[in-house]
Amino acid sequence: EHPEIQKEIYRKDDRLLALLKDVYVESRDPPVRVKDGGGEHLPCKLEEKRLTKLGHLQDLDVKKVSKGRISIVEALTLLNNHKLHPQIWTAEKIAVEYSLELKEVNSLLEFFIPFTVQEFPKETKKAI
């Protein structure tokens, strides 16, 4: 918008250029030292794991999961146990058994419902 400002910005200043040519910078990286294992260590966050409770389906799933998580087979198993015996497999018992938060177990039981497989007798298949 202001051509005089633009001209001043792009003007070559010989005095500043001469001063810049006199500047010499030398930079060296400090030598890299490898620490041996005896020094202080940074804290490492280790994730707590637990063995899965898989029963007869153990070949189908992982063997260890982080605390606060469940495997697919465990999820299906606990949902089925709750569906078949809700008075025994309460949300509190599931939370303790699988190291989960109670509110997460309540959400799981509310929003995930396992499928039921129904097999029709042979004589009714023709009618369908």
Q: Which residues pair with 50 in a beta bridge?
A: 65
Which residues are CB-contacts of 102 (< 8 A; sequence separation ≥ 6)? 91, 92, 95
Q: What is the pLDDT of residue 91?
A: 93
Residues 93-116 have a mean pLDDT of: 87
Break the chain into its structural domains and give their ranges: 49-111
The residue with tokens 């020094």 is: 39
- Say what the pTM is: 0.47
The model's pLDDT over 35-67, given as tens digits with 9 standing for 90+, comes to 655 555 555 555 666 656 655 555 656 677 778
Strands (E), the chain: 49-51, 64-66
The model's pLDDT over 60-102, given as tens digits with 9 standing for 90+, comes to 566 777 788 888 888 888 888 898 899 999 999 999 988 899 9
